């Protein structure tokens, strides 16, 4: 089987990571690559680490350029994916790495994104209950946000087992690639090295309703989320420190058991041995997720912490994993299980 | 006035930062410097940035070496300060940069440190209610922990104004110097660069009861603290993200007003203009504290975030500030008001 | 004495570092601050570490705004300083932190900068032979480039003593602040963290003729320079690794002796004890220069290595040091002698 | 074909990187893993990024434990490989990742390592003239040092083409993993972040004679090497800036042509398009080598710069590449062609 894949938005960090993974995919042939302001340039000048694709030239992003492929990955500004998907037709697998089709609640979408809601596609986080089945054979995939990936995998087991109260408090650290390649002063190396700083504080970050949606589904009741993202001096990685008041009757044993069960059959989600904590370096460049959980009996809270690579499991790896499921390929194909460390 | 100061533990990071500040203090003359395993070495080999002291040689830490000074700073392993202070006598100002005399509750001390409680000294965080008065003329000062400094300054205003419920949730990122110069594998540069990782999770970090003590005093009722520290890839800095459920009736305006009032007369604590957030880089090498606060109305929480330099305001700067007060010197003497950025 | 100083270009890294130093200068009062694209903004939004100046507002850069001061510091794009200096008149001390007046050879200027040569001002590297005398009482100062500062201090002693052949080979690493706040893709944090890369290779970097000028003056004959700058993942600092073939008869002892003599009376230049090597961290935020030298007898080369902070001794500290000399103030005023480490 | 491989020294950085690569090798089955002070521990506690091997337990390093494998990789302190190889017998492929068998000149070995010379094995840098043929079918491989890998690939083409004088000047920056996991104060994260510093200056670094050996072979005459290594604040990567006086008659065209020819058929060595320069980030985690060269006509020098990942192409990747050749497997098997960036 040879799957022909196109990538719209190949010059950005998500597109670059996707191409790194697809280069190692035995069933995928890399087709058209497109860009916006970078159209016409050699990929080697934009993504010098992608050696085998150095001589490829970016085409302008347009449905004609993307037609004729089996899979089309979209890394476009929000609000643009629906029109492209429409033109590609129902038989092409469209994997949207943007936010357009993640949220089920139109009001949430409009409040946080300010444009009309385009709809909801099968959600590309196979580890959530029911998600894998919805992806099988699907022609549309909404790849989750990087923070919601880390947070949902960390807290869903507690909510699914009824061990946590429905008010989650989350503080996450992200590497700078999460902010993309946009030229903004606060993203300069001189500014980020040696500094940790918060942004989007107080309930305004766009990933907040997506987390709430996932955790509410796991809990079977609405879960409110207090989310504070912080920018850390590293290129990649998310560490999500998540907590909630422990439900009445929760014990250290019941918490541990719930997580062991939730992670048991997942190829990429690893509950660490007790006493060992996640580190973003351990999952650098890999699709792995490290999780640890503990019950703080004095404070009465469940503390669950996860580490992912925001570009791999948090974006491009999640996209490939979901594509594999949709196409009926082995789920782990082309996805690194080991991090690049130190 | 010439105050003669000795430093026990001059080869570590806290001792080095203290010496950097004391070198700029117009009223202080630097006397004996001691070390433990490094006794006999030139300071220039251990702290090459302290150029004017390069030829000083460390003496072994012993009361005789420390005698004959007006002020003695102690940066010793916990449990050792009481005996040294005893030998120095009641007329010498002893500034303990360790934990021995911070906690008021003997049971807390014994639970977290495992040795008998030595007592409680005036607490060197002048910004807390009543603290400045207790420091004036005192001959004993317990310098606060770095995390409790950041957290107490961030949350005490909300508790003092009755705006937050007594269950605080805190996630903090620290630079690696907070862990000292101990040779531990996880502190190697190869391990920490590119990585954020938690440690001491679930209520076991020793700074937890100190935070609880300070916030409870501000609230006038017991405040429980859920505290998760994380190690970030930078040499210095603490960013503390602190939150608690908003008390009934709290509004964005009342929260802002409480913080404006609390910070108004403090020389080192700066409430940022609305919309601007703290960054550890902004306070690098300085005694300044940046604070911002917001009410997340959807999640119903007050979010207060502070940034300090863990070695300056969090340790050595706090020590000098308190010494200045104890000696009747202008409080800001020798304390940098501006960070070294970028 | 109260010297009133204006700063043109206060929003950049050089301007920010200058203001950090001037805030600690007992004889200077900070007057007008100007910017170009940032005119009208609060300095607190642009330079959040400069707490005491947070409420200052930038004016547009124009001679009228800069008039009425005793000293005017210029951090302008090259080619603009001459006109401003002209308008300010001969009685104002003008300190040019740009390149306009550094080079003596008009052909060199035109080859490397592409505009007509504006002239040559007294060169603000007091440690070079004759430079201090030329600065005393001067009303014009050309602040050296950051690389030429590091390289000239490292190699001039060898050339002045006739110990090196006139072909220098220099490889230097710089922190990212050396490239300024310009929004360029290769300066994003995601790109620079974890990466060392060269630029301006092969004799094309603009600081090359300035190094050659300084080393030739020391040698008394033309010295060619092969210079390769590299960008390192740190905000500040230059490490310059400089070498040249040893002259006939040079010995380890004669090399050491030449450097001891050259550094003996310099307040900021420190020849390290044998066996200890410079590190940029040791001079972080300080005006100090660390130097070490060795004779590699197998390769037949003198290797001299220096470390400076590119923003302090390499730019703003050098500017203040030269201003102090020009105004007859103690040379070390307001210049940190100790680095901020770790 | 199933090749059974043992790794002696699996807890270090070189051993960890080797295992990361071998996990992706379709023809290799990972057998015994040994350690010294870490024997008896789970690999998951020591190398948490190697998820699929987390439950493996290290055995003590001893010939019995290593027997019964087709390939044995040795990452041992120098001087220990000969005895182990002897015991393993002539039919086992022994790949020495240490220095023991790299040098041809016994006097060089004894001068730099201080122990008797054990001999010389086929040298695992297939890109050097004649090296690939010597590796085919060999049962012994000496993996090159990381710096000699970067330097030899950068300069050998110039020497082989007679374009450079036989005195090379090299300054290289390395990531901290090159220093291994040893607990030394200067390798602490607090010390290395924000700092570039030299070490082993003046002809004393042990990789110097190895570089000289390789470049002399390329030149057909003795080449002296002046080598200065520097430690940079990143976990991985080497940037080697290499230069030599241009030979009479060398032109920009002849230099470019020599490098194009040398790199034309090499799967991992990439001469970049003119104007684009190597960056360590581009080869992070990959076996690729980026090279650029230029003739500085003013200084009369050829400047060749290479970037590698010190743990991949510089150690473990080079080992796997040579093993593939020795075993008759496709040379590129299991070796990442793309870097992990940003």
Tokens of C188: 């994003």
Interface of D with C in 27-56 (CB under 8 A): none
Contacts of B307 in chain A (CB under 8 A): 196-197
Q: Are D150 and D130 in contact (CB under 8 A)?
A: no
> Where does chain C show beta strands of DSSP type E?
3-8, 28-35, 59-60, 71-74, 93-96, 140-142, 167-174, 197-198, 224-231, 238-245, 269-271, 289-296, 301-308
Q: Kindly indicate whether the ipTM for this predicted assembly is greater than 0.90, answering yes or no.
A: yes
Residues D170 and D243: their CA atoms lie apart, in Å, by 6
Interface of C with D in 173-202 (CB under 8 A): 173, 188, 190-191, 193-199, 201-202
Is the CB of residue A20 less than 8 Å away from at least one CB of chain D?
yes
Degrees (nearest 5) of the Cα angle D151, D157, D158? 95
DSSP string, C252-278: HHHHHHHHHHHHTT-SSEEEPPTT---
Residues C330 and C267: their CA atoms lie apart, in Å, by 11
Per-residue model confidence (pLDDT) at position B79: 87
Interface of B with A in 219-278 (CB under 8 A): 224-226, 228, 230, 232-237, 239, 241, 243, 277-278
Closest CA to C335 of C40, C112, C21: C21
pLDDT band at D1 (very low <50, low <70, confident <90, very high): low
Q: Are B233 and B193 in contact (CB under 8 A)?
A: yes
SS3 of chain A: the string is CCEEEEEECCCCHHHHHHHHHHCCCCCEEEEEEEECCCCCCEHHHHCCCCHHHCCCECEECCHHHHCCCCEEEECCCCCCHHHHHHHHCCCCEEEECCCCCCCCCHHHHHHHHCCCCCCCCCECCCCCCCHHHHHCCCCEEECCCHHHHHHHHHHHHHHHCCCECCEEEEEEEECHHHHCCCCCHHHEHHHHCCCCEECCCCCCCCCHHHHHHHHHHHHCCCCEEEEEEEECCCCCCEEEEEEEEECCCCCHHHHHHHHHHHHCCCCCEEECCCCCCCCHHHHCCCCCEEEEEEEECCCCEEEEEEEECCCHHHHHHHHHHHHHHHHCCCCCCCCCCCCCCC
Which of B195, B243, B342 should one mutate to test binding to chain A, selecting the residue with the greatest count of A CBs within 10 A? B195
Contact D51 A20 (CB under 8 A): no
Q: Which residues contact A64 (CB under 8 A, 6 or more apart)?
A: none
B81-105: pLDDT as tens digits: 989 999 999 999 999 999 999 999 9
Pairing of strands C224-231, C238-245: unpaired
User: Which residue intervals of chain C bear CATH 3.30.360.10?
Assistant: 147-308
Per-residue model confidence (pLDDT) at position D79: 87
Rg over alpha carbons for chain D, rounded to the nearest Å, is 19
pLDDT band at A1 (very low <50, low <70, confident <90, very high): low
Degrees (nearest 5) of the Cα angle C266, C269, C274? 115
Cα atoms in the 13 Å half-sphere on the side-chain side of C81: 30
Q: Are A176 and C193 in contact (CB under 8 A)?
A: yes
DSSP conformation class of C246: B
Pairing of strands D28-35, D3-8: parallel
Statement: residue C51 has pLDDT above 80: yes
A276, with CB counted inside 10 A (0-12, 13-18, 19+), is middle
Closest CA to B127 of B171, B81, B160: B160
Contacts of D13 in chain B (CB under 8 A): 190
Residue B3 — φ and ψ, nearest 5°?
-95, 125
Contact D196 C292 (CB under 8 A): no
Closest CA to B95 of B174, B14, B201: B14
Tokens of B243: 């939150």
Q: What is the CATH number of domain B3-143+315-327?
A: 3.40.50.720
Contacts of A181 in chain C (CB under 8 A): 185, 188, 190
Is the torsion defined by CA of C245, C251, C256, C261 positive or negative? negative
Catalytic residue (choose from D93, D146, D155, D302) = D146
User: Which residue intervals of chain D bear CATH 3.40.50.720?
Assistant: 3-143+315-327
Is the CB of residue B213 less than 8 Å away from at least one CB of chain A?
no
Is the CB of residue D338 less than 8 Å away from at least one CB of chain C?
no
Q: Are B149 and B314 in contact (CB under 8 A)?
A: yes
% pLDDT > 90, chain C: 97
Pick the CATH number of D147-308 from 3.30.360.10, 3.30.56.10, 3.40.50.300, 1.10.275.10: 3.30.360.10
Tokens of A197: 């700083």
Q: How far is CA D164 from CA C158, C200, D124, in A?
A: 26, 21, 25
| Residues of C known to be catalytic | 146
Residue of D nearest to A336 (CA): D24
Read off the pLDDT of each residue in A308-336 and give the average, rounded to a whole number: 98
B248, with CB counted inside 10 A (0-12, 13-18, 19+), is exposed
B107, with CB counted inside 10 A (0-12, 13-18, 19+), is exposed
pLDDT band at C1 (very low <50, low <70, confident <90, very high): low
Q: Are A4 and A70 in contact (CB under 8 A)?
A: yes
Contact A48 D177 (CB under 8 A): no
Contact A235 C176 (CB under 8 A): no
Interface of A with B in 306-325 (CB under 8 A): 307
The beta-carbon neighbor of A202 closest among B201, B225, B303 is B303
A114-166: pLDDT as tens digits: 999 999 999 999 999 999 999 999 999 999 999 999 999 999 999 999 999 99
Which of B233, B250, B282, B285 should one mutate to test binding to chain A, selecting the residue with the greatest count of A CBs within 10 A? B233
Q: Are D244 and D301 in contact (CB under 8 A)?
A: yes
Contacts of B169 in chain A (CB under 8 A): 169, 243, 299, 301
Residue B288 — φ and ψ, nearest 5°?
-75, 155
% pLDDT > 90, chain A: 97
Residues B112 and B193: their CA atoms lie apart, in Å, by 30
The beta-carbon neighbor of C50 closest among B13, B236, B338 is B338
B129, with CB counted inside 10 A (0-12, 13-18, 19+), is exposed
Per-residue model confidence (pLDDT) at position A229: 98
Statement: residue A263 has pLDDT above 90: yes
DSSP string, D98-148: SSTTT-S-HHHHHHHH-S-------BS-TTSTTHHHHHTT-SEEEPPPHHH
Per-residue model confidence (pLDDT) at position D78: 86
% pLDDT > 70, chain A: 100
Is the CB of residue C294 less than 8 Å away from at least one CB of chain D?
yes
Rg over alpha carbons for chain B, rounded to the nearest Å, is 19
Per-residue model confidence (pLDDT) at position D77: 87
Read off the pLDDT of each residue in C175-193 and give the average, rounded to a whole number: 96
Residues A341 and A272: their CA atoms lie apart, in Å, by 17
Per-residue model confidence (pLDDT) at position A77: 87
A11-58: pLDDT as tens digits: 999 999 999 999 999 999 999 999 999 999 999 999 999 999 999 999
Print pLDDT tens along chain B (342 aa). Answer: 699 999 999 999 999 999 999 999 999 999 999 999 999 999 999 999 999 999 999 999 998 999 999 999 999 988 889 899 999 999 999 999 999 999 999 999 999 999 999 999 999 999 999 999 999 999 999 999 999 999 999 999 999 999 999 999 999 999 999 999 999 999 999 999 999 999 999 999 999 999 999 999 999 999 999 999 999 999 999 999 999 999 999 999 999 999 999 999 999 999 999 999 999 999 999 999 999 999 999 999 999 999 999 999 999 999 999 999 999 999 999 999 999 999
Contact D340 A338 (CB under 8 A): no
Is the CB of residue A10 less than 8 Å away from at least one CB of chain D?
no
SS3 of C179-237: the string is HCCCCCHHHEHHHHCCCCEECCCCCCCCCHHHHHHHHHHHHCCCCEEEEEEEECCCCCC
Mean pLDDT of chain D: 97
Contacts of C241 in chain D (CB under 8 A): 171, 198, 228, 230
Read off the pLDDT of each residue in C141-158 and give the average, rounded to a whole number: 98
Closest CA to B236 of B285, B306, B297: B285
D72-119: pLDDT as tens digits: 999 998 888 989 999 999 999 999 999 999 999 999 999 999 999 999
Contact D340 A51 (CB under 8 A): no
Instruction: Show the DSSP H helices in B161-241 as ranges.
Output: 189-192, 208-219
Read off the pLDDT of each residue in D38-54 and give the average, rounded to a whole number: 97
**Cα(first)–Cα(last) distance of chain B, in Å?**
36
The beta-carbon neighbor of C13 closest among A13, A187, A190 is A190
Catalytic residue (choose from A125, A131, A146, A215) = A146
Residues C154 and A112: their CA atoms lie apart, in Å, by 56
A55, with CB counted inside 10 A (0-12, 13-18, 19+), is exposed
A240 in the Ramachandran plot: left (φ > 0), alpha (ψ -120 to 50) or beta? beta
DSSP conformation class of C287: S
């Amino acid at each position: 089987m040879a799957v022909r894949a196109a990538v719209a938005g190949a010059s950005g960090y998500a597109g670059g990571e996707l191409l790194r993974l697809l280069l190692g995919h035995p069933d995928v042939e890399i087709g058209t690559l497109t860009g916006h302001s970078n159209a016409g340039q050699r990929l080697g000048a934009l993504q010098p680490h992608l050696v085998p694709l150095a001589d490829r030239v970016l085409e302008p992003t347009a449905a004609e350029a993307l037609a004729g492929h089996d899979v089309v990955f979209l890394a476009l500004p929000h609000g643009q994916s629906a029109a492209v998907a429409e033109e590609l037709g129902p038989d092409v697998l469209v994997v949207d790495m943007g936010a357009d089709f993640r949220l089920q609640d139109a009001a949430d979408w409009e409040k946080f994104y300010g444009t009309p809601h385009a709809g909801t596609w099968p959600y590309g986080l196979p580890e959530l209950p029911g998600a894998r089945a919805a992806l099988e054979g699907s022609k549309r995939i909404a790849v989750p946000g990087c923070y919601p990936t880390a947070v949902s995998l960390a807290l869903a087991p507690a909510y699914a087992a009824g061990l946590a109260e429905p008010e989650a408090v989350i503080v996450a650290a992200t590497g700078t690639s999460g902010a993309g390649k946009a030229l903004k002063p606060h993203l300069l190396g001189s500014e980020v090295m040696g500094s940790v700083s918060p942004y989007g504080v107080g309930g305004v970050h766009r990933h907040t309703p997506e987390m709430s949606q996932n955790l509410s589904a796991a809990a079977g009741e609405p879960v409110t989320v207090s989310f504070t993202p912080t920018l850390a001096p590293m290129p990649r990685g998310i560490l999500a420190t998540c907590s909630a008041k422990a439900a009445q009757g929760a014990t250290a044993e019941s918490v541990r058991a719930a997580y062991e069960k939730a992670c048991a059959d997942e190829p990429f989600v690893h509950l660490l041995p007790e006493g060992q904590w996640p580190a973003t370096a351990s999952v650098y460049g890999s699709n792995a997720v490290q999780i640890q959980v503990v019950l703080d009996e004095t404070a009465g809270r469940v503390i669950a912490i996860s580490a992912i690579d925001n570009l791999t499991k948090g974006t491009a790896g999640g996209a490939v994993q979901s594509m594999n499921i949709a196409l009926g390929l082995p789920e782990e194909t082309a996805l690194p299980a080991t991090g690049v460390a130190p």
